[in-house]
Amino acid sequence: MDAVIERARRIRLLVLDVDGVLTDGRLFISPSGEEFKVFHVRDGSGLVAVQRAGVTVAIISGRDSEAVTRRAAELGIRHVRQGVADKDRELQALMHELGASPDQTACVGDDTPDLPMLRAAGLAIAVADAHPALLAAAHWVTPSSGGRGAVRDVCDLLLSAASA
């Protein structure tokens, strides 16, 4: 755990996937095609706290959702990239834009499309119920599942590392 805390201490950019990380991965789609997502309030509280502590939070998602746009705005997350096919390329562009090195970047994912981001990050994090390939690639696995407080786990890790 000491190695994880040391990695977490350097983080200045936290990049999150959405489905399976900020949500439990289920998609609710109405007969008219409207999509619904459920977000955990504790994740939101944690994200506000890490931003206040100086960590930039960004979202890179393969899907495009108005619910994500709205939730990100509520939480003050300004860097939101949706409908992304190549998450690694988007991560590289975001790090360049924000002047963050890989060692200063943490990425959180749950499924194989997130694997390139985790491999590029100084702190690779998988949610507890992630695909086995992400669990194997992660430096740290959250105690909680995606959409059930996993992002709060990450925020608490970053905040405790910064104060250690």
The structural architecture, per CATH, of the domain 2-163 is 3-Layer(aba) Sandwich (3.40)
* Alpha carbon of residue 141 to chain centroid: 12
Give Cβ neighbours of residue 26 (< 8 Å, ≥ 6 apart).
none
User: Domain residue spans in the chain?
Assistant: 2-163
pTM for the full predicted model: 0.96
pLDDT digits (tens, 9 = 90+) for 33-89: 888 899 999 999 999 999 999 999 999 999 999 999 999 999 999 999 999 999 999
